[in-house]
Structure 1
C-alpha cells in the first residue's frame, strides 16, 4: 500500500494528531523505562536483596532483548501490518510492567524486565515508520518527527526525574505500576484510532534463519558491550563473546545476499543518507549518553544530590529538547535542510560535553553542570529530528518499518556502547587516581572528566561522518522519485517513505 493510501485512510488532520499522540505515548513509556530504574536501583537492591554484582542486570535484562529484537520487529511490522505489531508490543510491555511492580525477589524482577524489553522492542520498532507514513507533506512531517524526536531524546532524562520522584514519594514499585493505566488506555485508543494497513509480505516466505541470526547477533552484541564494564574490554569474556557476535553478523550478511526474501535487503545500504544517518546516530548517542549516566553520578557522588534533586538537575536538558524539537527544529529543517541543522547541533553537543570535561571536585551545579545543559539540550533537540528525517529519507513505504527498526537499533547499540566504554574509562581512571593517593571525590571527578572528554570526541566523530556522507534531500518537485529498490544518485536521497 502506498504512503498516500495510508494517509487517505487516516482521515482528518485531527485523527492523525490523535494517532500521533497515541504512538508517542507508547514510545514514551518504552524510552522512560530505559532510565527510570537508574535512580531507584539502591532502593530495589535493599528491598529485594540484590547482590552488588547482580544489580546491574535490572538494567541489562531490559537492554538485551530491546536491542536484539528491534530490527526483526520492524521487518515483521512491514510484513504483517504495523498497527498489529504496535498493539501487540504495548500489551506485552504493559503486562510485564505489572509483573515488575509485583516482583518479590530478584529472579521475578529480572524475568519480568526481560519480557518488558521484548514488548518495548516490538512497540518501538514500528513507531517512526507509522509516523512518516501518516504525514507525507514536508512541513507536517517535520513537525510530526519533531514530536517523535522529543519523546525519543527527552524521555531518558524525564525518566531520571520521574524515577526519583516516585521512588521517594511512594516506592520503587510504582516506577513500573505507572505504566499499567497508561498502557491500558494506549491499547484501547490504538485499537480504535490507528488505521490498519496491509502488510507487504503476505504470501511471501520469511527468512526465518536470517531472523534467528540477526536477533542472536544483536542480543549477544548488547550483552558483550554491557558486560565489558565489569569484565574489561581486553578480557577473555569480552573478546570471546565479541568474536561470536562478529561470526553471527558475518553469517547473517552472507545469508542476506543469497536469501530470496531477505530480512534486511542489501539495497537498504545503497542510499548514503540511510547509512550515514545510522553511523552518525550511533556515534552521537554513544557520546551524549555520558551525560545521562555520568552527570547523574557526579551530582550524586560528588555534589551530594539526592534522587529528586538529581532529576531536577537534568530537567533543563529535557525542557530545551522539547522547545527545540517541537518548535524550532521543524522550521529550521524546512528552511535550510536537515543536514545543515544537524551539523550545528553536533557542534553544540560536543561543546557541552567538552565543558563537562572541566568539572571540579569542589564545584557546584550552577557553575559546573548547568551551563552544559544549554548546548546539550539545544543540540540534541535539533539533532534528533534531523537524523530521524535523514534516516527515513531513503526508505520506501515497503521498507519504512525496517528503517525505523534500524534507527532505533543503532540508538540502543550506541547507548550500550557509550555506557560500557565511558563508565569503564571513568572507573579505571578513578581507580588509578585513588592508587596515587587522591581523595575519593577528586578521583571520581577525574574519571568523569576523562569520560566526558572521550564522549565529546565520539560526537566530533559523528560530525565528521555527517559532513562527509549526508546530503540534504531535494525538496518536493526538484527531482524524480526513485522507485523502490532502485539505486539513486548519491546526493539525492529523497523522502519517499
Structure 2
C-alpha cells in the first residue's frame, strides 16, 4: 500500500507504548541494585509510567480531536523520547520515577492518536480493517517481546539500555511521521476537560501513594478527590468520563472486569518477575524466556476469541477467560522458595490462556454497551485497565514486601494469588448475571 510506511510508523508508536508496560519488569532487580532502592522505589518505577498513562489517556484522545492528531502524536513521540533519555541517565530513583511519569505523559498523547491517524489514512473499509488488524497485532506482540527484549538488554548492556533503545527509534518515527501524516484542522466542537484530567490523575496517584507508602490517612484525601471528580464530570456538558455511561450494567461490569484483570495480572507479574530473579536466581534473560508461556497464548488466542465474541457475544468468553486465568492464579499458591520452573509453568499457561480469551471479550463488551460513543468506550476501557494495573502493582508489592526475604515474599505472593482468585471469580459471577448483546 502507498501509505504503508505511515502504518509502520503508527504501529511503532503503539508498540513502544505497550512495550514499556512490561519491558521494565525484568530490569527491576538490576535497577534496585544500581540505584540502591527497595520494593517501594521499584513499585514507583513501574507505577510512575502507569499512573500518567492511566490518568491522561482519556484526555489524550480529546486533545488530538481538538488540536489535530498529527501535532499531538509528534508531541507524544518527542516527550516519550526525551523522557526515555532521562530514564537512561537517571542518577537516582527519584529522577527515574519522575522521568517515567513524563514518559507516561508522552504515551498518553501518542497512543490514541496512532489509531485515529490510521483510521483517517485508510478511508476504504476493507483497507481500514486490515490496517487496524496490523496495528492490533503489533500491539499484542509487544507483550511477549517486553520481558524477552528487556532480559537481553539487561544481561548484555545493562538496565539503562532498556530506555536508551527508545531514543533512536522515536527519533526516526518522528521524522517519518512529520513527513507522511497529513495535518487536519481541529474540529472545534469539543473541549479538553483539563480539570477532570487533573482530578482523575491526582485521585489515582493519591490512592497509589497511600498503598505503597502505607499512608492510610491519604485515603481521606482520595475520598475528597473522588467526590470532586464525580461532581465536576457530572456538571460538564462534554466530560472526560461521562458518569451516565456507568448507569448501564454491561458497561460497568465490563470495565470493572477490565480493571480487575490488569490489577491482578500486572500485580502478580510484578511479583513473579522478582520471584524468578531474586528468589530463584534466574538471569534477566532467563526470566524473560520463562514468562513467554504467559504472553504467547495471549497473542495467539486474542484474534480467535475476538471472532468468537463477535458471533456469540462477549459474556461467555469473558466468564471462561476469568475462570481459566483464576485457575492459573490458584496454582501459584503451590509455589515455594525452592520450587522448580516446572511447578510455575502450568500456572503461567492457564493464566495466559485465560487472558487470551478474556482481553478481546472485555473490550467488545465495553464498546458494545456504548456503540454510539465507541471511541470513548474503548478509551474508558483502556483507562480502567491501566488504572487497575497501577493499583495492582502498588497493592501486591506492598503485600509481598522485599524479595530478599524469600520465605516472607513467597508467603505474600500466596496472599496476592488468593486475592486474585477471589476477584476473578467474583468478576466471572457478575459477568454471568448480566445480559450482554
TM-score (norm 1): 0.76
Aligned length: 436
Report the Cα distance in structure 1 between the residues aligned to 2:294 and 2:415, rounded to whole angstroms.
21
Report the Cα distance in structure 1 between the residues aligned to 2:245 and 2:124, rounded to whole angstroms.
20
Cα 1:334–1:179 shift into 2, 3 Å: same
Report the Cα distance in structure 2 between the residues aligned to 1:67 and 1:341, rounded to whole angstroms.
25
Alignment of 1:71-470 (within 5 A): 71-127=58-114, 144=132, 148=136, 151=139, 155-194=142-181, 199-200=186-187, 202=188, 206-224=192-210, 228-231=211-214, 237-238=215-216, 240-326=217-303, 328-366=304-342, 368-395=343-370, 399-427=373-401, 441-469=406-434
Report the Cα distance in structure 2 between the residues aligned to 1:343 and 1:150, rounded to whole angstroms.
26
- 178-187 vs 59-68, which deviates more? 59-68
Report the Cα distance in structure 1 between the residues aligned to 2:37 and 2:351, rounded to whole angstroms.
34
1:384-416: per-residue Cα shift (whole Å, max 9, x none)? Answer: 12222222234467x555334322221122112
Cα 1:132–1:267 shift into 2, 3 Å: farther
Cα 1:220–1:139 shift into 2, 3 Å: farther
Cα 1:289–1:131 shift into 2, 3 Å: farther
Q: Could you tell me whether the CA contact under 8 Å between 1:318 and 1:377 is conserved in 2?
A: yes
Q: Could you tell me whether the CA contact under 8 Å between 1:75 and 1:405 is conserved in 2?
A: no
Report the Cα distance in structure 2 between the residues aligned to 1:290 and 1:158, rounded to whole angstroms.
19
Report the Cα distance in structure 2 between the residues aligned to 1:333 and 1:17, rounded to whole angstroms.
29
1:428-463: per-residue Cα shift (whole Å, max 9, x none)? Answer: 9x99xxxxxxxx644443332222122122211221
Report the Cα distance in structure 2 between the residues aligned to 1:333 and 1:129, rounded to whole angstroms.
24
Cα 1:464–1:377 shift into 2, 3 Å: same
Q: Could you tell me whether the CA contact under 8 Å between 1:131 and 1:145 is conserved in 2?
A: no
Q: Could you tell me whether the CA contact under 8 Å between 1:213 and 1:252 is conserved in 2?
A: yes
- 106-115 vs 68-77, which deviates more? 106-115
Whichever of the two has the greater Rg, that structure is: 1
Q: Could you tell me whether the CA contact under 8 Å between 1:281 and 1:462 is conserved in 2?
A: no
**Correspondence for 1:65:** 52
Cα 1:338–1:396 shift into 2, 3 Å: closer
Segments of 5+ residues of structure 1 without an aligned counterpart are: 1-13, 232-236, 432-439, 473-497
Segments of 5+ residues of structure 2 without an aligned counterpart are: none
TM-superposed deviation, 1:60? 3.5
Cα 1:193–1:467 shift into 2, 3 Å: farther
Q: Could you tell me whether the CA contact under 8 Å between 2:43 and 2:393 is conserved in 1?
A: no
Report the Cα distance in structure 2 between the residues aligned to 1:470 and 1:146, rounded to whole angstroms.
31
- 252-261 vs 309-318, which deviates more? 252-261
TM-superposed deviation, 1:106? 4.4
TM-superposed deviation, 1:376? 1.8
TM-superposed deviation, 1:115? 1.4
Q: Could you tell me whether the CA contact under 8 Å between 1:352 and 1:375 is conserved in 2?
A: yes
- 58-67 vs 382-391, which deviates more? 58-67
- 88-97 vs 401-410, which deviates more? 401-410
Aligned alpha-carbon RMSD (Å): 3.4
- 38-47 vs 132-141, which deviates more? 132-141
